[in-house]
Structure 1
Amino acid sequence: MSKPKKSKASSIVWFEIPADNTARAKKFYSSLFGWKIKKFPGMKDYLHIDTGGANDTPDGGLMNRMHKDHTITNYISVESVDKSAAKVVKLGGNICKPKTAVPQMGYFVICQDTEKNTFALWEVDGKAK
């Protein structure tokens, strides 16, 4: 995951596309949009999608589908994944995957909204372990 700039605005900073066949999906998205897709350093079975946009345009990841209902996940920048995750629950949503570190980059929490849509919270923290 590239290191997005810390922002007070809650905007999409990363996305993940699950695939049954990552080679086929890579060919599809690179041919359709001209995205550069290559292995993400240090991660097995995870590809980095370079959308080619400006620094404020999110890049993403291409990965193996984890279950039949696994869909595209957008990562939304927040100041605190802990506070935002608590608010998700308070508002009637669910936590699907608790706070997880991406070493030296930040933390994420995978959530589900009241309509069963999945999304992720992302907190930048260069000291994450």
Structure 2
Amino acid sequence: MSKVLRFEIQVPNPEEAIEFYTNSFGWKFEKMPGPQEYWFIITGESDRPGIDGGLMKSPDGATRTTNSIEVPSIDEYIKRIIENGGQVVVPKTAIPNMGYFAYCLDNQGLLFGVSEANTEA
């Protein structure tokens, strides 16, 4: 069984969102290295229930929240998603030294992400 790993916020202006969520909820943001602007969101102490998240600039200017589901093999799960009526909208993409991700739609059009940890990516 695969668990929701994190939520992801996509907005047109990440800096404004960082200020909003920091001031409103006390969340902490850590910028990740790499070609894409992406921040990890720490929503609370690790000994408390809940999940952390990510923040990125929306590629199409829309605002949305998605959930990312951790899977042991992104290739295997993409096959399952397609077999069950879903579709891939952003193909498997490497995050160097971290793993892979893809964005998919379920069989009713809901956007979600799948993520595989793999330091050889």
| TM-score grouping bracket, smaller chain normalisation | 0.7 to 0.9
* Distance in 2 (alpha carbons) for counterparts of 1:80 and 1:18: 25
Residue 4 of structure 1 corresponds to none
Residue 46 of structure 2 corresponds to 54
Report the AA paired with residue 59 of structure 2: M
2:74 to 59, 81, 88: 81
Structure 2, unmatched stretches of 5+, are: none
Alignment of 1:115 with 2:120, yes or no, is no
Residue 12 of structure 1 corresponds to 4
Alignment deviations for residues 50-92 of structure 1 (CA, whole Å, 9 cap, x no partner)? 2233178533222212115552121111111111101111110
Residue 6 of structure 1 corresponds to none
**What TM-score comes out, normalization by structure 2 length?**
0.84
Residue 17 of structure 2 corresponds to 25
Aligned length: 120
Identity score, percent: 38
* Distance in 1 (alpha carbons) for counterparts of 2:119 and 2:97: 4
* Distance in 1 (alpha carbons) for counterparts of 2:30 and 2:114: 24
Report the AA paired with residue 24 of structure 1: E
User: Quick check: 11-20 or 48-57, which moved more?
Assistant: 48-57
Q: Which runs of 4+ in 1 moved over 4 A?
A: none
Residue 35 of structure 1 corresponds to 27
Q: Do 1:13 and 1:76's aligned partners in 2 also have CA atoms closer than 8 Å?
A: yes
Structure 1, unmatched stretches of 5+, are: 1-8
Residue 89 of structure 2 corresponds to 96
Report the AA paired with residue 91 of structure 1: N
What is the SS of the residue equivalent to 1:96? Answer: strand
Q: Do 2:10 and 2:62's aligned partners in 1 also have CA atoms closer than 8 Å?
A: no
